Amino acid sequence: MSNTSILVVTSDQIANYEIVETIGEVFGITVQSRDAVSDFGASIKNIFGGEIKSYTQMLENARAEAIYRLQEAAVEKGADAVVAMRFDSNEISETASSVVAYGTAVKIRHI
């Protein structure tokens, strides 16, 4: 089973499906670091204001990678879906941040 068949939702239930087995918690973790060019651009934006697009893109990529790894972990455990998915993020250092996607791996049946 490829991870693209793993449904990931933030809700506790999935419309038109019944959870038939709770497998357990799964995680997807990534750590991303900023580069010097991004940091320079951020320092300019701090003076004049506005969105720091390179940071936004980095965080979007990190979330996508965390979900992908969450899906891989769910597949390894034999799940059909992940419910109650959440994100957590932390600054590890001045130039690196972690993003974690976590949720509950389940088996589902269409009703």
Number of structural domains found in the chain: 1
- Geometric angle at alpha carbon 58, from 54 and 59, rounded to 5°: 120
**Domain span at 90:** 3-34+63-110
Give the DSSP H or E segment for 53. Answer: helix 53-76
pLDDT tens digits along 72-108: 999 999 999 999 999 999 988 877 889 999 999 999 9
pLDDT tens digits along 4-57: 679 999 999 999 999 999 999 999 999 988 665 555 555 565 566 677 787 788
Question: Residue 57 falls within a domain, yes or no?
Answer: no
pLDDT tens digits along 42-59: 556 556 667 778 778 888
What are the φ/ψ torsions at residue 35 (nearest 5 degrees)?
-100, 170
Question: What is the domain-level CATH number for residue 69?
Answer: 3.30.110.70
Question: Residue 29 falls within a domain, yes or no?
Answer: yes
Question: Residue 44 falls within a domain, yes or no?
Answer: no
Tokens of 6: 């793993």
Question: Residue 15 falls within a domain, yes or no?
Answer: yes
